[in-house]
Structure 1
Amino acid sequence: MYNFWENIWKFPKFIISVFIGFFLTAAYPFFQLSKKKKISYFIPLILFLLIGFLSNILRLMLGYS
């Protein structure tokens, strides 16, 4: 029974590490692009537009005008 509770205790740590690994793997190409000088100026612009676009969609979906 001790092994069962030990495994249950380790599960949240496992889930957190999986999510962190997924986001780091997904963001790796952007880190590589940020090393190039010409493209590094557009990354904050793209992120700003993406956040604005998503916030606009959420406002419209939730009924906030």
Structure 2
Amino acid sequence: MTDFWVNLYKFPRFLISVLIGFFLTTLKPIFKLLKKKESSILITSITLIITAICYKILRKMTGLD
């Protein structure tokens, strides 16, 4: 039973390391693309458009118009 509690205490550290690893491996190619000017402009504009769309959708869903 003590092994269970030891493993349970280790889980938050494991979860945080998995999340950090996921974001690092996901964002690394994007950071490489941001070094080029053409792709930097494209990625920035796509990010802004997606953010604006999500903002408008959430405003409509919550009725804050």
TM-score by length of 2: 0.77
Structure 2's unaligned 5+ residue stretches are none
User: How big is each residue's C-alpha offset from its partner over 1:29-65, in whole Å with a ceiling of 9 and x where there is no partner?
Assistant: 2112112122112322222211111111111111211
Identity score, percent: 48
- Aligned letter for 1:49? I
Equivalent pairs, count: 65
Runs of 4 or more off by more than 3 Å in structure 1?
none
- Matches of 2:42 and 2:53, distance apart in 1: 16
CA RMSD of aligned residues (A): 1.6
Q: Tell me the residue number matched to 2:60.
A: 60
TM-score by length of 1: 0.77
Give how far 1:18 is off. Answer: 1.4
